[in-house]
Structure 1
Amino acid sequence: MVATAAVVASLPGTAHAVENLPPRQPLVQELQTHFKACATGDTPTYVATAPVVTAVLHDPEEDNQPVEANMVAGEFEAWWTDASGVEQRRTYASYQLSSGTAQRWQLPSDVPADTVVSWHVRANDGTAVSAWSSEGTGAACRFVIDRVSPEKPVVTSEEYPEQQYRDGVGVYGSFVVDSPSPDVVAYEYGFVGGPYGTVRPDEPGGAATIRFLPQKTGPDYLTVRAVDRAGRISTSATHWFFVTSGRAPVAHWKLADPAGSTSAAAETGTAARAGTGVTFGGPAPARTSLTATASLDGGPQGFLTTDAPVVDTGRTFAVSAWVRPARTDRTMTVASQDTSNGNAFTLGLRAKDSGAAWSFTLGEAKVSGGTPETGEWTHLLGLYDTETGRAQLYVNGRAAGTAAQASPAVSTGAFQLGRALNGARYGHHWRGDIGGVQVHDRVVVAAEVTRLAHRQPKPLARWSLETATDGTSPEEKDGAPLRLAAGATIHRGPDGSCVPDLDPDCPVVPYALVGDGHLTLDGEGGHAAADGPVVDTSDSFSIGVVVRLADHEPAGPMTVLSVPGEHTDAFKVRYEPSAQAWQLVVPERDEPGAPERIVSHIAPADGGEGQGNRLAVVYDDADDTVKLYLDGYTNAEATATLPQTWHGTGPLQVGRGLTADGPGEYLHGDVDEIQAYAGALSARDVTMLGRGAEPCLC
């Protein structure tokens, strides 16, 4: 209905009024039944209990100024036909609220279950009412209350039947879930440690399939609950199953064959024929299970081949190897497999104008990442997963680049190491070393990738600093001792022969930081030194120490550990009082005044009290990062990218570092439990440093 405006004469500044207009008819799209969209057709909304119904109601903006002064209430009606065929009706009037506000009605508890209930609403501004939401082009909302939960679902699996061991890690399996209840619309599921999710049948009451990729060996179970259309949830069904270890590779060559060999023996699969440009007996990556590798000269005869395919490249597969390039300025192939006129995949190094990168190609898909370095060992793994349709590259156990959707070519040709077929000729020959090649016909899961690329840290030295003889403190495994300078002494804790609280003549002796003793430095010249650098700072290394400062406000920087070069320290760990922080300082070059990378942990000086701080430096050459840990923890401020380091040749220093004026930054405080390793310790192993024991290195 349209109202006629009444113009009222007024003084300047007086608001103009208009005749009241009725509220607008509520729109179906602005109505909800228990927070679900209004259902108006033959299929009502199903709810688990008497619902809350909601309507957004509007009064015309022309009624008043300002707009927010428009107030409107809702008049709700719900009706149904009972078992006797008699219509039942319930009504409710809400309080007035601002126009455009949602109005709600909690329906009474006597609304019956398993009965179609209709409802509508109209707006009332206190003077006029709107049309019902069901009138004209509108419609009544309809719902049914379902107070019965669905029955527990049933789980079956062909690949992983209940209470049976089956293959295995890296092999997908299907779990079919079904429920006897006809109104189930979803199944909520979860495996131990994940994944968790929801699957939906094609039609209510139907079965649904959950796909799962086992990540670990041993017992596992799937828990599933059925959800019906009202949102009611069944009790849980649990399907126990057991997963075997992942299938062995379909082909495996260590390439550790004796010098002079003309083929590579296979751990699994067939032997690989070697071209004359292959030399066996090459160096192996340190701290791995490999003892030797094959060196390829980069020429046409620098290859190994099986003369037959080893894996179906149209299905899930993975190929991996340890590699060390002798050059990075050209594209080179580590592994490939022939098709009739090219290759199904290549794993190797791709040279571009922007620089070299590791690469895995599969059909038109190309994944690249990581930076190859001449003479540096790297573990590569390329994976194609038909389940996801994606190709993925791993470099040193970590995903590199961006996984790409792939449509692989079917390969019927020979498997190649060190070259790739392009057209009618082989090219992209590898120059460098290759070892530990494995080819799998399944997914190699993340934990397995990490293990394949793992380089076991090696203990180098540990000084517990419990005793000193003739100015030296011994290394735990009869290695070179630390030599103590003047001003450096070993403090011994109480020997337990008396108790000061009980014996007035018993001297009070402070406890040692760790164990029975520690090194005390006077801050004036006292320090200790090893016979050499102990760690190779140009390669991955880890070193830990426990330190306690004697002063609450040190007068200047104090260094606890350093390895010097000719002009500066390859690294040093110091306390910087101006920043109240422990710092790791790494110069970029062995030059006076060379730029420095500095990472730090904020920590107030302890002033000779407490148990001190456990510090650790971990340099990982594989991912070019260096981290400073404080009491077992690190953070973004204590981590830096370090693309290249240099080899410090001087002896490990405890309690001092190099300055522009020579040795200085002498530490005033206590030092204990110095532990050094070749290789990068894991974060878990770092937490064990400085506790009087060695980490598990697992």
Structure 2
Amino acid sequence: MPPDEGPMYVEAKAVDGAGNARVTTTAHTFLVADGRAPKAGWSLGDPRGSAAASGIGETPDALPGRGVTFGSEGPLGPTDVAASFDGSADAYLESAQPAVDTSGTFTVSAWVNLPERPKDDLTLVSQDGTGQPGFDLGYDVDTESWTFRVPVTDMETMGTWKVSGASAVPGSWTHLIGVYDSHTGMLSLFVNGDLIEDDVQARRTVWKADGPVQIGRKMAPDGYTANLKGALADVKLYDRVIPEAEGEDLGGVSATQLGYWALDEAAGADSPDVGTGRPLKLANGALIYRQDDSCDPGLDPTCVPASPPLWGDGHLALDGAGGHASREAGLLAPEDSFTVTARARLASSGGADQTVFALLGASGSAVDVTYSATADRWQVTTTDKDGGSVTSTASAPGVLPSTGGDGDHLALVYSAVFGDVALYVNGTLALKVPWDNAWDFTTTSLQVGRTQKGTATAKPFAGALDEVRVFRGALDAALIPTVAGLPAGSNVEDTVT
């Protein structure tokens, strides 16, 4: 199956029985169009007070129970709309007819936002059979993960074929795609556009469910169950496979820039946010370096021009004696994904360990990005909770930290959904490690140029730091190089989608 839309080609070469290959290769170019539109879909963007969820195209409307409210904020922000489900037995939408043949190839997708970590199974979308649903896309409390499952038969006691993966993050929009490919017989699950590669399973029995689509609940022999408590948007069902490239497009989560400090200027002890956010506070001798343009070798051959800033019109200059910049707590969500980026240039390698940035709690640091003098590498250190123990310390192999030029662009990406943290150096993935933590990130402050040990500054940075950005959400790997090369002062939200 073609992996994506666009022009493709096939090359062929003739080889005879003696193994002699024809010199000339024959090529054939062809065009792969977009996949077929959904067989059924509901945007769930209906205005508050609507009597039904309007179907997309020829899809019939879905009628709500009393536990459904239209007009909630959707996955794309205040201008987007979703439907809210209160978790009661009346929290559902029901269509008038089936949408897909569950014995053949099909795909189901939806956006979901849960207010809390579920204590029971939840269903986002299902399609009725006689005694069991033909499929169930939702949350499985036993594995504490998102799940796409298909019952073995239309009977209760025969079990299910299922694929599971990734965690539910309360208060964060998550996109799910469940796929059954009848040609390969395999079930797969995408979470936020990423295929759960370690859990692609075979479906070994096939049967057809002919009942209506249920949104927010699933059928059981004694009635409906697994009613959803949360918000839902953009439910779609396809009679085809969603390949990996299309899954990334459908489920890629937009990152929201929460703060950007170009570090080009200072007003007293503050270096302002390029947007409307709070400034970074400069302390202990930290200062903004700007190039002195008074030297003109054409007029004075003895003068030596000052060196240019690290990036843009200025940078944060630190001498390794404790100077730093900070932004108080309250920037991040309690447990959602985030990305922090900065550009760093060491004054010299070796010597002592030095911190580029850290997220600091009341009694310890959640995560530090540092220069390790022993390893002569950039390093990431994580802890499990405030005041807890170190869970991992990992160095970026093969990347020598820079002491000249534009320095190194460092991007720390935490995925709460997949429970890992990654470090990108100059746009390239350098390391990725698991991070199982119980941090409330709303309590962490952003420290630039230091971490802390007790109340004392630890691992102070010596050199230049610049272009500090914080995002809500895990930036996609393909976007990290774009962010690394953004001109100083540019609006990243015009570029990152």
Provide the TM-score with structure 2 as the length reference.
0.86
In the alignment of these two chains, the number of paired residues is: 479
Return the letter of the residue paired with 1:621: A
Change (3 A) 1:423 1:620: same
Residues 362 and 563 (structure 1 numbering): CA distance in 2 closer, same or farther, change over 3 Å?
same
Partner of 1:525: 322
Secondary structure class of the residue paired with 1:263: coil
Cα deviation, residue 437, structure 1: 0.6
- Alpha-carbon distance in structure 2 between the residues aligned to 1:403 and 1:222: 30
Determine if contact 1:626/1:642 at 8 Å carries over to the other structure: no
Contact 1:317–1:440 (CA<8 Å) still a contact in 2?
yes
Change (3 A) 1:495 1:267: farther
Q: Whole-Å Cα distance in 2 between the matches of residues 478 and 324 of structure 1?
A: 27
Q: Which residue of 2 aligns with 1:66?
A: none
Q: Distance in 1 between matches of 2:238 and 2:400?
A: 53
Q: 1:499 to 1:692 in 2, by over 3 A?
A: farther
Aligned CA distance change for structure 1 residues 503 and 478 (closer, same or farther; 3 Å): farther
Q: Is the 8 A contact 1:255 1:292 kept in 2?
A: yes
Partner Cα separation in structure 2 for residue 552 and residue 427 of structure 1 = 61
Aligned-partner SS, 1:449 = helix
Q: Deviations over 1:147-193 (max 9, x none)?
A: xxxxxxxxxxxxxxxxxxxxxxxxxxxxxxxxxxxxxxxxxxxxxxx
Matched, 1:214 2:9: no
Match of residue 408 from structure 2: 613
Provide closer, same or farther for how the CA distance between residues 605 and 403 of structure 1 changes in structure 2, counting only shifts above 3 A: closer
Q: Secondary structure at the match of 2:443?
A: coil
1:446: Cα distance to partner?
A: 1.0
In structure 2, do the counterparts of structure 1 residues 305 and 518 end up closer, same or farther at CA, with 3 Å as the change threshold? same
Corresponding residue SS for 1:291: strand
d(CA) in 1 for partners of 2:149 and 2:463?
Answer: 53
Q: What is the aligned partner in structure 2 of residue 482 from structure 1?
A: 280
1:336 is the counterpart of 2:137: no
Q: Percent identity?
A: 33
Q: CA deviation at 1:653?
A: 2.2
CA distance in 2, matches of 1:349, 1:564: 33
Distance 1:536 1:577, change over 3 A: farther
Structure 1 residues 248 and 355: alpha-carbon distance in aligned structure 2, compared to 1, 3 A threshold: closer
* 1:314 maps to amino acid: S
- 1:384, CA displacement in angstroms? 1.6
C-alpha deviations, 1:394-426, integer Å up to 9, x for none?
233233322213443223221111222233633
Letter in 1 for 2:278: A
Secondary structure, counterpart of 1:293 in structure 2: strand
Deviation at 1:318, TM superposition (A): 0.6
SS of match in other structure, 2:247:
helix
Does residue 1:425 correspond to 2:223, yes or no? yes
CA distance in 2, matches of 1:232, 1:578: 57
**8 Å contact kept, 1:225–1:237:** yes
d(CA) in 2 for partners of 1:650 and 1:388? 47
Q: Distance in 2 between matches of 1:274 and 1:549?
A: 60
Alignment match, 2:168: 373
Question: Does residue 435 in structure 1 map to residue 229 in structure 2?
Answer: no
1:75-86 pair list within 5 angstroms = none
Aligned residue in 2 for 1:255:
44
Q: How does 1:50-449 map to 2 (within 5 A)?
A: 213-234=1-22, 235-268=24-57, 269-285=59-75, 287=76, 291-325=80-114, 326=116, 328-352=118-142, 355=144, 358-363=147-152, 366-373=161-168, 375=170, 376-400=172-196, 401-423=199-221, 425-449=223-247
Contact 2:359 2:368 in 1 (8 A): yes
1:633 aligns with 2:428: yes
For structure 2, the 5+ residue unaligned runs are 154-159
* One-letter amino acid of the structure 2 residue matched with residue 489 of structure 1: L
Question: What is the alpha-carbon distance in structure 2 between the residues aligned to residue 378 and residue 425 of structure 1?
Answer: 28
3-state DSSP class of the match of 1:451?
helix
Alignment of 1:455-494 (within 5 A): 455-477=253-275, 479-493=277-291
> How far did residue 658 of structure 1 move?
1.8
Q: Over alpha carbons, which structure has the higher Rg?
A: 1
* Partners of 1:676 and 1:578 in 2: CA distance: 28
Q: Look up the match of 1:111.
A: none
How far apart in 1 are the matches of 2:364 and 2:103?
55
Q: Distance in 2 between matches of 1:477 and 1:330?
A: 42
Structure 1 pair 379–362 and aligned structure 2 pair: CA distance change class (3 A): farther
Equivalent pair of 1:569/1:648 in contact (CA under 8 Å): no
1:488–1:528 contact (8 Å) kept in structure 2 = yes
**For residues 312 and 287 of structure 2, what CA distance do their matches in structure 1 show?**
16
Change (3 A) 1:648 1:515: same
CA distance in 2, matches of 1:391, 1:582: 39
| 1:516 aligns to 2:305 (yes or no) | no
Deviations 1:444-468 (CA, angstroms, capped at 9, x unpaired): 1111111222111122333222233
Which whole-Å deviations, capped at 9, do the CAs of 1:197-226 have from their partners, x for residues lacking one? xxxxxxxxxxxxxxxx23333333333334
Decide which moves more: 481-490 or 226-235. 226-235
1:374/1:385 CA distance change after superposition, 3 Å: same
How much is the aligned-residue C-alpha RMSD, in angstroms?
3.0
Offset, 1:357: 5.1
What are the ranges of 5 or more consecutive residues in structure 1 without an aligned counterpart? 1-212
- How many Å apart are 1:687 and its aligned residue? 2.4
Measure the CA separation in 1 of the matches of 2:448 and 2:250. 36
1:582 matches 2:378? yes
One-letter code aligned to 1:395: V
Q: Which among 416, 438, 447 is matched to residue 653 of structure 1?
A: 447
Q: Output the CA distance in 2 between the equivalents of 1:458 and 1:355.
A: 27
Q: Which residue of 1 aligns with 2:338?
A: 541
Counterpart of 1:342, as a letter, is: Q
Could you state the TM-score of these two structures normalised by the residue count of structure 1?
0.63
Q: Are residues 289 and 610 of structure 1, via their aligned partners in 2, closer, same or farther at CA, if it must alter by over 3 Å? A: same
Report the Cα offset of residue 614 of structure 1.
2.1
Q: For residue 457 of structure 2, what is the amino acid of its counterpart?
A: P
Q: Does the Cα contact within 8 Å between 2:109 and 2:176 map onto a contact in 1?
A: yes
CA contact (8 A) 2:381 2:390 kept: no
Aligned CA distance change for structure 1 residues 552 and 299 (closer, same or farther; 3 Å): closer
Label 1:363 to 1:345 Cα distance change in 2 as closer, same or farther (>3 A): farther
SS at match of 2:200: strand
Give the equivalent residue in structure 1 for 2:496. Answer: 697
Quote the Cα distance in structure 2 between the aligned partners of 1:327 and 1:489.
44
Q: How many Å apart are 1:304 and its aligned residue?
A: 1.0
Instruction: Provide the C-alpha distance between the structure 2 equivalents of 1:563 and 1:227, rounded to a whole number of angstroms.
Output: 62
1:650 is displaced (CA, Å) by: 4.8
Residues 462 and 274 of structure 1, relative CA distance in 2, 3 Å threshold: same
CA contact (8 A) 2:38 2:237 kept: yes
Q: What residue is the counterpart of 2:157 in the other structure?
A: none
Equivalent residue, structure 2, for 1:672: 466
Following superposition, the deviation at residue 317 of structure 1 comes to 1.2
1:221-240 deviation digits (Å, cap 9, x = unpaired): 33333444444445544333
* 8 A contact 1:362–1:408 mirrored in 2: no
